[in-house]
């Protein structure tokens, strides 16, 4: 038994030695043939350990207490380097509570001064960007008044796109975790204007998506913010942006528009815009299930409120919807299946359209190509 174990161990050692020898031969060949374009295979780094991470965390906490910008920045850069080496390192870093330690340091430096500590704050934020989802302790520190204020300050004053992107992604993560962060964000001056600017003049797809998510939470929280966005002209900008954009952006834009149509100002802007009904109908069954739900919801709101405003007469919206093929699109959506809330609203839209169907109807054949229809 003992002999068999030793024999297997010897064989394993020989195999390992053979692997090392083969690697050395390959490395030497790469060096010799570098002029022909062969690159030397980098030697794998030794994985970081939990003890090393704990030591760094301790150092970050101590340097943050002393407001030692340079010391903390050097430690954060080390964490960043470890994280860039392998996914295993990232897991080890996150699992040992680095996120909350960095968030606490961010809060400390933000309380002192945004401007004076700008560089170290940017470094910390860059690391936190790949430590999502944020745990409860990280949310507490990043959700403080000072930290939120710093994140918004970066959106307004950040020199690079990456800083703005890291800031808005962190904000998006926070508001998606807890409604109280949305409430805190509404109290920071200039937040709405910054979101509007990012949507109106896109910088990057990530920033646009995150801006739409943040705007969705903001308009869902407060009618005052809904009215402010409407006064700034967000309804028109959203409709134009949906004409030619990727699906994920379109879905988020429809979500914001749906919430804006909860207020009178939003509906009035939608009524006045010639793109509203054609865009809404076009996006049914063309983007995602959620986007179809938003399109139906907005159409339903516009029809119901026009009928209410005109003593039951919603002919203006209904006729326009029929002219762009709404009846067939909504009917097909019901046949293919959708969520209960969307189904209920789609049924009501269909009932409202039905009296006008015989005289006015248009079908966009591209939407129904290769589909068997029983209507």
Closest CA to 264 of 213, 210, 227, 211: 227
Contacts of 7 (CB under 8 A, 6+ apart): none
Mean pLDDT is lowest, of 172-176, 209-213, 273-277, 307-311, for 307-311
Mean pLDDT within 211-240: 96
Whether 14 is in a domain gets the answer: no
What's the CA gap between 314 and 300, in Å, rounded? 11
Whether 161 is in a domain gets the answer: no
pLDDT value, residue 215? 97
Average pLDDT of every residue of the chain: 88
Contacts of 81 (CB under 8 A, 6+ apart): none
Report residue 231's pLDDT band, with 50, 70 and 90 as the boundaries.
very high
How many folded domains does the chain comprise?
Answer: 2
Whether 137 is in a domain gets the answer: yes
Mean pLDDT within 266-276: 95
Whether 80 is in a domain gets the answer: yes
Single out the residue in 137, 156, 175 at which a domain terminates. Answer: 156
Mean pLDDT is lowest, of 25-29, 138-142, 243-247, for 25-29
Whether 5 is in a domain gets the answer: no
What's the CA gap between 347 and 344, in Å, rounded? 5
Single out the residue in 156, 174, 201 at which a domain terminates. Answer: 156
Q: What is the gyration radius of the CA atoms in the chain, in angstroms?
A: 28
pTM: 0.83
State the Cα angle at 24 between 21 and 28, rounded to 5°.
140
Which domain covers residue 347, as residue numbers? Answer: 286-368
Please list the helix, strand and coil fractions of the chain in percent, rounded to the nearest 5, in that order: 75, 0, 25
Here the tokens at position 251 are: 């879905």
Report residue 372's pLDDT band, with 50, 70 and 90 as the boundaries.
very low
Mean pLDDT within 65-83: 95
């Amino acid at each position: 038994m003992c002999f068999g174990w030793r024999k297997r161990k010897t064989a394993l050692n020989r195999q390992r030695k053979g692997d090392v020898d083969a690697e050395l031969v390959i490395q030497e060949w790469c060096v010799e043939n570098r002029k022909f374009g062969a690159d030397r295979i980098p030697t794998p780094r030794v994985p970081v350990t939990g003890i090393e991470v704990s030591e760094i965390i301790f150092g970050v906490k101590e340097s943050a207490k002393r407001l030692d910008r340079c010391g903390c920045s050097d430690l954060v850069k080390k964490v960043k380097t470890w994280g860039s080496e392998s996914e295993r390192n990232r897991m080890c870093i996150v699992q040992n509570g680095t996120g909350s330690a960095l968030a606490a340091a961010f809060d400390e430096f933000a309380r002192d001064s945004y401007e004076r500590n700008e560089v170290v704050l940017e470094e910390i934020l860059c690391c936190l960007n790949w430590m999502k989802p944020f745990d409860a302790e990280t949310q507490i520190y990043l959700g403080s008044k000072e930290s939120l204020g710093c994140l918004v300050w970066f959106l307004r004053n950040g020199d690079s796109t990456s800083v703005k992107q890291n800031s808005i992604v962190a904000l998006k993560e926070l508001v998606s975790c807890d409604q109280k962060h949305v409430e805190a964000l509404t109290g920071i001056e200039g937040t709405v204007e910054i979101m509007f600017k990012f949507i109106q003049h896109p910088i990057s797809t990530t920033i646009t998506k995150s801006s739409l998510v943040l705007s969705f939470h903001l308009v869902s929280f407060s009618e005052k913010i809904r009215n402010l966005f409407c006064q700034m002209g967000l309804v028109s900008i959203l409709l134009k942006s949906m004409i030619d954009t990727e699906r994920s952006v379109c879905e988020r834009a429809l979500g914001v528009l749906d919430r804006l149509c909860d207020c009178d100002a939003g509906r009035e802007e939608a009524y006045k815009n010639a793109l509203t009904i054609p865009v809404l109908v076009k996006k049914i069954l063309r983007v995602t299930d959620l986007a179809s739900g938003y399109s139906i919801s907005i159409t339903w709101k516009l029809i119901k409120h026009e009928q209410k405003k005109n003593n039951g007469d919603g002919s203006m919206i209904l006729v326009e919807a029929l002219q762009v093929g709404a009846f067939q699109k909504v009917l097909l959506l019901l046949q293919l299946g959708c969520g209960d809330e969307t189904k209920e609203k789609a049924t009501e839209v269909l009932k409202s359209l039905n009296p006008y169907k015989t005289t006015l109807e248009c079908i966009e054949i591209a939407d129904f190509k290769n589909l068997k229809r029983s209507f």
